[in-house]
């Protein structure tokens, strides 16, 4: 169900269990009892004041309750006199709600719905799990293999549909994307919509968000949700010619509250406070500390929260940060950061596969694939990006070609297939671990002398899998120190995406003859 359909149901005053979003329009009388599957969106629309500045003047919220538990939820003004509440129930049962407002039409409204079992394929929001890893709310492990399309929702509808089509067959289950439009090299087009009301002179009224702008982004988030892709939503960024990077503090905070009220109920959101926060010269680290606290306070779903930097790293040890979001390919330092922060680490920008006139945008496909392997072997996760220019395109940075990293479109690179192959290897740790959450995902097992190794179990007991990646080393044979027990062994060619099982089982120090080619891998699995 898309956003337009959902609004239609609301305005008709009808009541429907419409999936994936549940829209309930109440005027008078109170709506009948609805059933909302776990982790879907319950939406209530009430009519209220449309004079003055409803965004600024009208407070609207609700308390949702299940037994003795209560959850505070902010409502928002959606234009044309419509006030909305969205809520993602996280527990099955009989939920009730009561609204509060400074507007008589909007206060004291009550209602109920039943949260029923989750739909097939819905696992809830992603949370940190087992210190360095992630899982959905239902316990299903989540291994992020993300990509980057910063401004894809601000391109033409055709291009957005092409991007969604590309994502359908791509190996990515997370996407970094900006709420605000982007101004940068190769990014000179105006967005179809603007986030705030804008007068003829192009001046923005930051007190008046444009509901259609946010509804459009929500539609894209819902599209991603259908594809099983997490939206790593970037709330601020420095690449701006409209003034969104330099709003006054009150406008920043109001904007955040508006986005949180509108979007928190989408289970597939991660909050990325900024891209390259340290390049936003109008903001300080303290501003971002405050933003984190606003997000933490006003997101009833407690989505993942982090922030991305350019040169000066944010302090990821803060308790309000759920995971590291790094711009570096310094995988050697990962062990220290993991130990210091005790959180999962995303290497969210390791440069991009492509052929641009910039060092961040011209990695070979081999190097991009290698960086994914190095990240996994370091016990972390890596995000893809792609920056291919058509070689026949004129050599001019002031044009706006279609480049995946910002605009979406089609993938041209050689790394995605290899990333898909690696993702399957990593997901296999969950398949073999069964329900034991501690045995999913790879933990780095650094030793002074051997090549990097990782095992599935950080506790040192019951290791189920061990993955070696040889990088640019090419031993013709190698001694692998296996933990107690019997293991099968497979030789892996990460580039050719081939797995060759060796016959028999192996115990103790195991000397294997290898290919003698660089960039090979070896996997051991417990019998």
User: What residues line the site for a second copy (CB under 8 A)?
Assistant: 354-359, 361-364, 366-367, 389, 391, 395, 449-451, 470, 472-479, 511, 513, 516-518
Nearer to a second copy, 139 or 518 (CB): 518
Q: In angstroms, give the least distance from the CB of 253 to a second copy.
A: 33
Between CA 387 and CA 403 the distance in angstroms is: 6
Nearer to a second copy, 30 or 450 (CB): 450
Q: In angstroms, give the least distance from the CB of 500 to a second copy.
A: 17
Between CA 417 and CA 242 the distance in angstroms is: 38
Task: Give the pair of three-digit tokens for residue 327.
Answer: 């711009």
Between CA 461 and CA 450 the distance in angstroms is: 20
CA 305 to each of CA 12, 274, 309, 343, 370: distance values in angstroms, whole numbers, following the listed order: 37, 10, 14, 12, 27
Give the E-state strand segments of 210-281 in sequence order: 230-236, 269-274
Between CA 223 and CA 49 the distance in angstroms is: 31
Q: In angstroms, give the least distance from the CB of 470 to a second copy.
A: 8
Nearer to a second copy, 24 or 356 (CB): 356
Q: In angstroms, give the least distance from the CB of 446 to a second copy.
A: 12
Q: Is 15 exposed, middle or buried (0-12, 13-18, 19+ CB in 10 A)?
A: middle
Task: Give the pair of three-digit tokens for residue 303.
Answer: 């989505």
Q: In angstroms, give the least distance from the CB of 326 to a second copy.
A: 17
Give the E-state strand segments of 172-245 in sequence order: 174-178, 196-198, 204-209, 230-236
Nearer to a second copy, 256 or 368 (CB): 368
Q: In angstroms, give the least distance from the CB of 333 to a second copy.
A: 12
Nearer to a second copy, 131 or 510 (CB): 510
Q: In angstroms, give the least distance from the CB of 352 to a second copy.
A: 10
Nearer to a second copy, 89 or 385 (CB): 385
Q: In angstroms, give the least distance from the CB of 477 to a second copy.
A: 5
Between CA 488 and CA 507 the distance in angstroms is: 9
Nearer to a second copy, 365 or 441 (CB): 365
User: Using CA of residue 65, residue 66, residue 70, residue 72, what is the dihedral sign?
Assistant: negative
Nearer to a second copy, 29 or 391 (CB): 391
Between CA 443 and CA 427 the distance in angstroms is: 14
CB atoms within 10 A of CB 249: 12
Which residues, 6+ apart, have CB-to-CB distance to 503 below 8 Å? Answer: none
């Amino acid at each position: 169900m898309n956003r337009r359909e959902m609004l239609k149901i609301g305005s008709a005053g009808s009541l429907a269990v419409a999936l994936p979003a549940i829209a309930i329009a109440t005027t008078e009388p109170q709506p009948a009892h609805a059933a909302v599957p776990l982790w879907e969106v319950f939406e209530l629309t009430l009519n209220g004041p449309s004079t003055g500045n409803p965004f600024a003047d009208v407070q609207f919220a609700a308390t949702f309750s299940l037994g003795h538990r209560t959850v505070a939820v902010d409502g928002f003004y959606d234009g044309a006199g419509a006030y909305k509440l969205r809520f993602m129930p996280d527990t099955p049962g009989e939920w009730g709600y009561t609204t509060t407002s400074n507007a008589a039409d909007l206060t004291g409204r009550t209602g109920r719905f039943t949260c029923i079992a989750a739909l097939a394929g819905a696992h809830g929001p992603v949370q940190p799990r087992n210190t360095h890893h992630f899982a959905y709310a239902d316990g299903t492990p989540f291994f992020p293999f993300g990509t980057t399309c910063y401004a894809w929702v601000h391109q033409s509808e055709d291009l957005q549909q092409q991007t969604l089509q590309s994502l359908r067959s791509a190996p990515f289950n997370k996407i970094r994307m900006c709420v605000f439009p982007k101004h940068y090299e190769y990014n000179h087009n105006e967005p179809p919509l603007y986030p705030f009301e804008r007068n003829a002179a192009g001046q923005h009224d930051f007190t008046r968000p444009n509901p259609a702008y946010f509804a459009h982004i929500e539609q894209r988030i819902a599209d991603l949700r259908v594809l099983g892709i997490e939206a790593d939503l970037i709330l601020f960024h420095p690449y701006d010619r409209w003034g969104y990077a330099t709003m006054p503090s009150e406008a920043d905070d109001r904007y955040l509250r508006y986005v949180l009220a509108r979007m928190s109920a989408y289970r597939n959101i991660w909050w990325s406070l900024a891209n390259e926060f340290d390049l936003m010269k109008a903001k300080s680290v303290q501003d971002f500390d405050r933003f984190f606290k606003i997000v933490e306070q006003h997101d009833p779903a407690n989505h993942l929260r982090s922030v991305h930097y350019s040169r000066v790293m944010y302090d990821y040890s803060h308790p309000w940060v759920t995971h590291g979001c790094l711009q570096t390919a310094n995988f050697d330092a990962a062990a220290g950061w993991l130990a210091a922060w005790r959180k999962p680490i995303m290497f969210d920008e390791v440069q991009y596969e492509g052929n641009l006139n910039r060092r961040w945008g011209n990695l070979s496909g081999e190097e991009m694939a290698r960086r994914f392997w190095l990240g996994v072997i370091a016990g972390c996760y890596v995000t893809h990006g792609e920056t291919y220019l058509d070689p026949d395109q004129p050599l001019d940075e002031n044009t706006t070609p279609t480049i995946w990293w910002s605009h979406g479109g089609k993938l041209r690179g050689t790394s995605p297939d290899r990333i898909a192959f690696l993702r399957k290897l990593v997901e296999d740790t969950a398949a073999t671990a069964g329900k034991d959450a501690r045995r999913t995902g790879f933990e780095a097992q650094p030793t002074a002398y051997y090549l990097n190794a990782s095992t599935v179990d950080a506790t040192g007991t019951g290791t189920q899998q061990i993955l070696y990646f040889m990088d640019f080393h090419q031993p013709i044979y190698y001694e692998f120190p296996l933990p107690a027990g019997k293991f099968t062994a497979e030789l892996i060619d990460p580039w050719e995406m081939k797995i060759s099982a060796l016959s028999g089982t192996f115990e103790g120090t195991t000397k294997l003859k290898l290919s003698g080619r660089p960039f090979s891998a070896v996997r051991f699995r417990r019998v």
